[in-house]
Chain A
Amino acid sequence: MKKELIELRVNGRSHELAIEPSELLLDVLRQELDLTGSKRGCDDSSCGACTVLVDGVPTLSCTMLAMSCAADEQDAPDITTVEGIADHGALAAIQKAYGDWGGAQCGFCTPGFMITVKALLDRNPEPSEDDIRHALSGNLCRCTGYTQMYQAIKAAIEAEQRSR
């Protein structure tokens, strides 16, 4: 298939890439840009391990064409992957809390959760338990460490509030 040149804006940096129009955002991130933090767990938008933010909206990159996130004259969508959420080279509050509270076990689902939680807290800095559960409902963890994740998210919110 003939390749096309696109511009993709990822974690605040622009990249010019030649890709096949059928290529998925997840494959372009992982294979072309070496951003392997986003994972493929299921191939069919079931598990959430590939979640990235596109203009702040959690998006499943395994079923999103890279072309449709490309910059054009009007618009340059901002893509954020798990590699883009650390805080100036140190762990963001939610990353630290997931480590401290055992929210990451095998860790394969963790990047997806990081992105989902970031989107939640960006939108709503003081979510209720229900808000948290609702926001996380599209991400699966086979190690089933959900309780530790809720604890971690609460701890991260408290840490953010203290530092404010």
Chain B
Amino acid sequence: MTDFSIIGKRVALVDSAGKTTGQGKYTDDLSLPGMLTGKILHSPYPHARIKKIDASKAEAMEGVVCVVTGPDAPNKYGILPVGHDETALAVEKVRYVGDNVACVVATSESIAERALELIEVEYEQLPAWFDPEDSMKAERDWIHPQRPNNIEKDYHHVFGDPDKGFAEADVVTEHRYIAGEVTHAAMEPHCTLASFEIDSQTGQPGRLTAWSSTQVPYYLQHKLSIVLEMPMQQIRVIKPLVGGGFGGKSEVIPLEIIAAVAARKAKAPVKITYTREEVFWAHRGRPRTIIDLKIGAKKDGHLTSVAAKVIQDGGAYCSYGVVTILYSGALLGALYDIPNIRYDGYRVLTNKPACGAMRGHGTVNVRFAFESQLDEIAVQLDIDPAEIRRINLLKPPCVTVNNLRVQSYGLPECIEKVIERSGWRARRSHLPPARGMGMACSHYVSGAANSIIRSDMPHSTVNIKIDRDGGVVVYTGASDIGQGSDTMVAQIVAEVLGIGLGRIRVIAADTDLTPIDIGSYSSRVTFMNGNASLRSAEDVKKKIVAAAALKMNCAPEDVMMRDDRVWKRGTTSPATNGAGAEHAAKADAAGGSVREVSGRVEGQTLRGSLQQKRKDEGPKDQMSFE
């Protein structure tokens, strides 16, 4: 079907009017009766043992409700199951300037700020590590005692025979590349509002609701459950509008946990909003990366072997680090046809804000090194930079040397168009002094292989409810963070059901109302939640079509649905107005409930996997390139 009525058309985002009028609510725009403000005390030292915290003066201040410290919620958590190394607030040690020490809950921000100055903390400073190559040599004072030499994770992969590949090469280049650290800087600083309800049966504090600026509401629900020792079903996470993420809200950020712990202790709703400075401390950005890269090539430009040693300056906590350093290696071999690869990756802890996932998770820095060096090889071999990339293209469908199955590619066509539209050849030969024109290729996978909450359950489920007058409510767990997933879901459902966007209401990212979607990251939402929406809408359509066929005395194949109308193929004047509302009611009466249908996407069906547990074991499933 290429004759779409809504997909591919220019439509305003379904939430755009809220954004242009100021009516749309982001987390910090929300308030509750009796709401208090939380302010966090941050560590002034990069690495220190906390000997004593005395908050009595702060607590005595008029307007201060309570002061929260590490022992109030000592359970460890982390976004990865293998990296549970954070606590809501520091328990024994602080590990970077900006680490979270205490939280003042007060009736106003100005009171909370003044109270922070009254908290007395006694520190015993420890040696701190700022450079990953120094940090790896540390023999004591490790940042986390369970990580010897401050190495969070190392990978050593060998595919093919790299040494033989280098021996066969006509040219071998070898350089060190260093890429600086980058932070996401979403326009909206992180914010969380947490509130407990009193349980009607027990009379005690019961369910928690957390409104939060997050890309991953279901992961937040899970981590809150660990730290607060509450079952997930007692925790409701709602994602209001989010002012951009870029990966910086793709894991649980300290204030999200601190706000909930503070609300529990204060026995009142608590909101915490980061200042811009605190956003930089919370960070989780792209790590500073040191790349020692060696590439071998034949005279004709064909690559024979690649060896990369990658050291990532991960900061003080694991965060997504184990995945970042895996991706740096796993995606090395997926863009070009490289017969032999050696990869040595080290994720190293340092006493700096923790790095995490940022756009192009793990791949960007290594790609910068690779593409730079490919240009050098092109110059040495006197081959056009565009041509050397073409020479080394994969020929999909294929399986790379590290067992990545490439189904779709698009790179040859992309290079072709860039050459044509940029006037590559003509312009490059007439460049004025000190001007250059270059080309670099990059790629990423769509879809996450595994949910971080280990489970065989679907990664995405979408429910659709049909009202009796033809209104459609779509319940999706997808987190719109500005990328437009609410609109994407509405477009898909509208297209399948043949109705306009005006009939569709999207309810999204509310763990009480919407079925699970594992989050907005890894370019997975359109791929996975979009497919779940499609399946769900197709199921609804099938039921409406069956009822309509019965009524119109025709075969189901002859029932047409488009432009808010249902009609029999061949009749020219669509008679029924109302998106098959009448037919939906009929289908109900006929026994098959059309009111609610769900479509889901199993992680096992649609996923791109980069798991490489052993050097000889590659990913098994397909990936979709972008």
Interface residues, chain A, with chain B CB atoms under 8 Å away: 1, 20, 22, 30-31, 35-44, 47, 49, 81-83, 86, 91, 94-96, 98-100, 102, 104-111, 114, 140-143
- A107 B15 Cβ-Cβ under 8 A: yes
Binds A, one of B25-33, B425-433, B498-506, B539-547: B25-33
User: CB < 8 Å: which of A1, A44, A111 contacts B110?
Assistant: A1
Q: Complex formed: what's the CA distance from A44 to B279 in Å? A: 14
User: CB < 8 Å: which of A83, A95, A142 contacts B186?
Assistant: A142
CB-CB under 8 A for A41 and B187, given A142-B244, A143-B244? yes
- B21 A95 Cβ-Cβ under 8 A: yes
A-B contact pairs, 8 of them (CB 8 A): A1-B110, A41-B276, A81-B22, A91-B20, A98-B19, A98-B20, A107-B482, A108-B26
Q: Complex formed: what's the CA distance from A95 to B187 in Å? A: 20
What sequence of 0s and 1s flags, for each residue 228-256 of chain B, a beta carbon within 8 Å of any chain A beta carbon?
A: 00000000000001111010000000000
- A95 B20 Cβ-Cβ under 8 A: yes
**Minimal beta-carbon separation of A162 from chain B (angstroms):** 19
- B242 A44 Cβ-Cβ under 8 A: no
Chain A residues near B22: list those with CB within 8 A: 35-38, 81-83, 111
Q: Complex formed: what's the CA distance from A91 to B21 in Å? A: 8
Q: Complex formed: what's the CA distance from A35 to B428 in Å? A: 54
- B19 A104 Cβ-Cβ under 8 A: yes
Chain B residues near A39: list those with CB within 8 A: 26, 187-188, 243
What sequence of 0s and 1s flags, for each residue 456-494 of chain B, a beta carbon within 8 Å of any chain A beta carbon?
A: 000000000000000000000000011110000000000
- B276 A37 Cβ-Cβ under 8 A: no
**Minimal beta-carbon separation of B249 from chain A (angstroms):** 11
Q: Complex formed: what's the CA distance from A83 to B246 in Å? A: 28
- Closest 8 pairs (CB-CB, A-B): A37-B22, A106-B482, A108-B243, A107-B19, A99-B16, A36-B29, A99-B12, A95-B20
Confirm or deny: B383 has a beta carbon within 8 angstroms of a beta carbon on chain A.
Answer: no
User: CB < 8 Å: which of A20, A43, A143 contacts B275?
Assistant: A43
Confirm or deny: B44 has a beta carbon within 8 angstroms of a beta carbon on chain A.
Answer: no
Confirm or deny: B158 has a beta carbon within 8 angstroms of a beta carbon on chain A.
Answer: no
Interface residues, chain B, with chain A CB atoms under 8 Å away: 10, 12-13, 15-26, 28-29, 31, 110, 185-189, 241-244, 246, 273, 275-277, 481-484
CB-CB under 8 A for A40 and B28, given A106-B188, A106-B481, A142-B185? yes
CB-CB under 8 A for A106 and B243, given A39-B26, A41-B189, A142-B186? yes
- B12 A108 Cβ-Cβ under 8 A: no
Q: Complex formed: what's the CA distance from A86 to B10 in Å? A: 23
Chain A residues near B13: list those with CB within 8 A: 99, 102, 104-105
**Minimal beta-carbon separation of B464 from chain A (angstroms):** 25
Specify the chain B residue showing the minimal Cβ separation from A48.
Answer: B187
- A99 B20 Cβ-Cβ under 8 A: yes
- B246 A142 Cβ-Cβ under 8 A: yes
Chain B residues near A83: list those with CB within 8 A: 21-23
- A98 B16 Cβ-Cβ under 8 A: yes
Q: Complex formed: what's the CA distance from A86 to B275 in Å? A: 30
- A109 B187 Cβ-Cβ under 8 A: yes
- A49 B187 Cβ-Cβ under 8 A: yes
Chain A residues near B188: list those with CB within 8 A: 39, 41, 106, 108
